[in-house]
Amino acid sequence: MKTRPHNDSEARSILPRIKNPADVKDLIENDLPILAEEIRQELISVLSQTGGHLGPNLGVVELTIALHRVFDTPKDKFVFDVSHQGYVHKMLTGRRNRIHTLRQYQGLNGFLLRTESEHDVYGAGHAGTALSAGLGMAAARDLKNGDEHVVVVAGDAAFTCGVSFEALNNVSATTSRLIIILNDNEWSIAKNVGAVAEYLNRIVTNPAYAHLHAKAGKFVEWLAGKQARKLVHKAEAGLKNLLAPSVIFEDLGIRYFGPLDGHDIPLLIKSFEFLKSQNEPVILHILTQKGKGYAPALEKPDKFHGLGKFHLDTGETAASSTPTYSELLGQTLADFADQNNKIIAITAAMPTGTGLVHFARRHPTRFFDVGIAEEHAALFACGLATQGMKPFLVIYSTFMQRAFDMIVHDMALQNLNICLCMDRAGLSGDDGPTHHGLFDIGYLRHIPGIVHMQPKDEVEFRDMLWTMMHYQDGPIAIRYPRGTGTGIPSTESPRLLEIGKSEVLRHGNQVALFGLGNMCEMALKTAELLEKHGISTAVINARWIKPLDITTLEFFARGCDVICTFEDHVLHNGFGSAIIEHLSDAHIPTPVVRIGWPDQFIEHGTVPILRQKYGLTAETAFAHIIENLSLPFEQPQSAAVA
């Protein structure tokens, strides 16, 4: 490959010249490291203002450059697992001039979207999906006699997902041409755990060159000389009696190569050119450094996996005096576990995000991070429950849906005492539709015997966790929002709540507003607007999604002219739907106005912007209540009210 010398006097900016992948191919080889450095600096600068997945993207800069140097998108297909590491790909495929809009309303999404670019062949957001999706694309290509390449890029954490192994089990029987890149940085969001992570670790930490498969060793030497092996050797002490690293993959019919240095652009380019010529499924194991090029991200990989705005020089984020619901959960469960040795905390690769890091520090033997394996986590909790333990399964709402079958078939059917804690319930703002927790009411409330609730503030949150700990009649669930609450300190001892009993915050006899969880605040604001117009308004903190407080509901439905419900959830099969169903069964004809999210996937953006757009406001609620009271009032447009 043609090269030219480079020195400081010849330094020039490369990145602004990259308008599409063809421009990457036109660069001379010496320009590629310069491009990598410029991409890193721009990522650090932009994400300090927008927030996002900085660490993962800093780790795949050279990999992404090499992919676009060798392959031709959109004809060739890149399938990024999760796709949170797709920022560099966006920059190289014509979106660099919009990278500053990342995760902003009407800006670039923080994950790949098929609707955003023809170069994004598969949208994602959850781990473990890339191998199956890529295999499907390869099968479709074979059926159509195509010649394009399908390249799957999956982190080592994705190989802790059961669905990844389901795909691996089918690769050799499905296609003879699939390229899999195992991007090994030893991290998912937290440090990887389990036997698979240990297996990969043995490959890269064995002394000398025993960790290189014999064929892979010759392959590396052929590509880049004997020194290439030294580039990928790690100095840590290895383990004796190491099995051949390719055993798992080659026994599945996938030829293994590696591990290679994932930051060596020339080596990656030669490797990809070689793999393109193979007529068998192949896996290339590369070693990358999460957060490479930014010291704070290297020091705290879990923090910089995904974060908000941060100070460019120090990497510090804005401190808040109000703890998040996640932090409160971890601290509260740790307090409870001091007095109850049956409490177990389980998460799926998110000890920091869920706040369970606080629990893990104080009760390490009763904390389990099972990796990105929500289905296993749920069944693991079931096993614990059968033996009299009290497991708290703490998973984001958007990821808990992956364990739906286990919740139905194993927890509820067997009536096991398991506590489901669904973090990030409701809108997840700038993370977008893959992470909004807008469906958990719908996928839980129809399950027989399950109890489901949501707190209005931190004090009630602690009371609900206390109630969950003491509940002995089957599975019980709690949903709570991302971020901080109202700032109310929870210093008093927790109290048991009566299952299915709501709280009347204010009385009235014309309109009754039922607020669920953090939406009580909007209900109270709506009440103020109604009271200003002389309309007597009751506000009820619903607390319970299932069972409903039917006594309180029927009391106000029979005495008021309009009921209005508020929920941070889709309207279809949500809390308001449960209200309507019960009133219909009870033959109470009181009209119900529902405030919630419409029947569509909600884009990314700040919560206030999206609530305003879709009509989740006190003003919209007020207008529709007035309409149902048959009083004159100009109604604002809203697609999110029923």
Among the listed residues 402, 456, 462, 525, the single catalytic one is: 402
Element (H, E) at 394: strand 390-396
Mapped onto helix, strand or coil, the DSSP state of residue 549 is coil
Active site residue 374: yes
- Count of alpha carbons within 13 Å of 114, Cβ hemisphere only? 6
Among the listed residues 38, 62, 186, 374, the single catalytic one is: 374
Active site residue 581: no
Mapped onto helix, strand or coil, the DSSP state of residue 514 is strand
Q: How big is the chain, counted in residues?
A: 642
Q: Are 488 and 459 in contact (CB under 8 A)?
A: yes
Distance CA(424)–CA(325), nearest Å, equals 9
- Please write down the HEC assignment for all residues of 150-181: EEEEEEHHHHHCHHHHHHHHHHHHHCCCCEEE
**In Å, what is the CA distance from 18 to each residue of 3, 401, 553?**
19, 40, 61
Element (H, E) at 299: helix 295-299
Active site residue 402: yes
Q: Report which DSSP code applies to 599.
A: S
Q: Can you state the angle between helices 618-628 and 520-532, rounded to 10 degrees?
A: 50
Element (H, E) at 516: none
Distance CA(57)–CA(434), nearest Å, equals 19
139-141-146 Cα angle (round to 5): 150
Structure tokens at 120: 């994004």
**In Å, what is the CA distance from 185 to each residue of 158, 285, 459, 516?**
11, 11, 40, 41
314-317-318 Cα angle (round to 5): 125
Which positions ≥6 away from 309 have C-beta within 8 Å?
48, 49, 50, 51, 317, 318
Distance CA(426)–CA(570), nearest Å, equals 9
Among the listed residues 77, 96, 177, 290, the single catalytic one is: 290
40-50-329 Cα angle (round to 5): 110
Backbone angles phi, psi at 69, to 5 degrees: -70, -35
Strands (E) in 28-126, as ranges, are: 77-80
Name the one residue in this structure whose structure tokens are 């990969």: 200
Which positions ≥6 away from 313 have C-beta within 8 Å?
none
Q: What amino acid positions are annotated as catalytic residues?
A: 290, 374, 402
